[in-house]
Amino acid sequence: MTRRTLALTEALHAYVVANGSEPDDLVRDLIAETAAVLPHDAGMQVAPEQAALLTLLTRISGARRAVEIGTFTGLSSIAIARGLADGGRLTCFDVSEEFTAIARRYWRRAGLDDRIELRIGPAARTLAALPGEPHLDLVFIDADKTGYPAYWEAVVPRVRPGGLILVDNVLRDGHVLDPDPGDEGTLAIVAFNRMVLADERVESMILPIADGLTLARRL
């Protein structure tokens, strides 16, 4: 027994994935195609157990209106869209036509293309076109790390009380502890984590799954 989250070995991680909702053929194909076509970027994809968590959280929360910032080849968007309540919609934001062309193909194959809309452009600009009132049930942030503070400020007022904001990579492979991290992504995340902690509009915690996932509930 431990009161601290276990450090996962390769074998224990495989056990975790195998004993949760396992990736289906479509997700397996998407992971394999991303690794084959974009070998240098494939590590950007959420982990399989995170995809399962995103589907569960979306379903448990009964979300109908969701937003994703950072879509890449589509794994997390598929996970969220699969958990949406009937009639639900996911709006995705990304800058890359190349990456998201793969996502679009998998959305069609998954029968999800009628509930996902993609907006291409820098999210700091494109998010501003969303209605300003609190109408969102769930937001997932997983784009450029230096943009996180701006994305946070754009989405918090648009999330309804009780809605969820999920933020990926908040542990930066443990480098958030480095006294002098040296890379601007980690510096941005350290400042972002402090900003979320001090934000009285949410209650939040960091879930130590994959590279760290902030779970914040709008008050």
3-state secondary structure (DSSP) of residue 63? coil
**Contact status: 94 vs ligand SAM (CB under 6 A):** yes
State the alpha helices, DSSP H only, in the chain: 10-18, 25-37, 48-60, 75-83, 97-109, 123-126, 148-155, 184-198
Out of 144, 149, 181, 206, the only residue in the binding site for ligand SAM (CB under 6 A) is 144
Out of 21, 89, 96, 208, the only residue in the binding site for ligand SAM (CB under 6 A) is 96
Q: Decide whether 138 or 179 has the Cβ nearer to ligand SAM.
A: 138
How many residues touch ligand SAM (CB under 6 A)? 20
As a whole number of angstroms, the longest Cα–Cα distance in the chain is 49
Nearest to 99 by CA among 80, 76, 82, 83: 76
Out of 23, 83, 147, 163, the only residue in the binding site for ligand SAM (CB under 6 A) is 147
Q: Cα(170)–Cα(147) distance, rounded to whole angstroms?
A: 13
Q: Decide whether 166 or 216 has the Cβ nearer to ligand SAM.
A: 166
Least distance CB 3 / ligand SAM (angstroms): 31
75's tokens: 């794994």
Nearest-Å Rg of the Cα atoms of the chain is: 17
**Contact status: 31 vs ligand SAM (CB under 6 A):** no
Q: Decide whether 76 or 91 has the Cβ nearer to ligand SAM.
A: 76
Beta bridge partners of 92: 68, 118
Q: Decide whether 30 or 156 has the Cβ nearer to ligand SAM.
A: 30
In the shown chain, the binding pattern of residues 68 to 87 toward ligand SAM, with x for contact by CB under 6 A and - for none, equals --xxxx-xx-----------
4's tokens: 């601290």
Q: Decide whether 99 or 152 has the Cβ nearer to ligand SAM.
A: 99
Least distance CB 2 / ligand SAM (angstroms): 29
**CB 180: neighbour CB atoms within 10 A?**
6
**Contact status: 49 vs ligand SAM (CB under 6 A):** no
Rounded to the nearest 10 degrees, the angle between the axes of helix 75-83 and helix 25-37 is: 160
Residues that bind ligand SAM (CB under 6 A): 44-46, 70-73, 75-76, 93-96, 99, 122-123, 142-144, 147
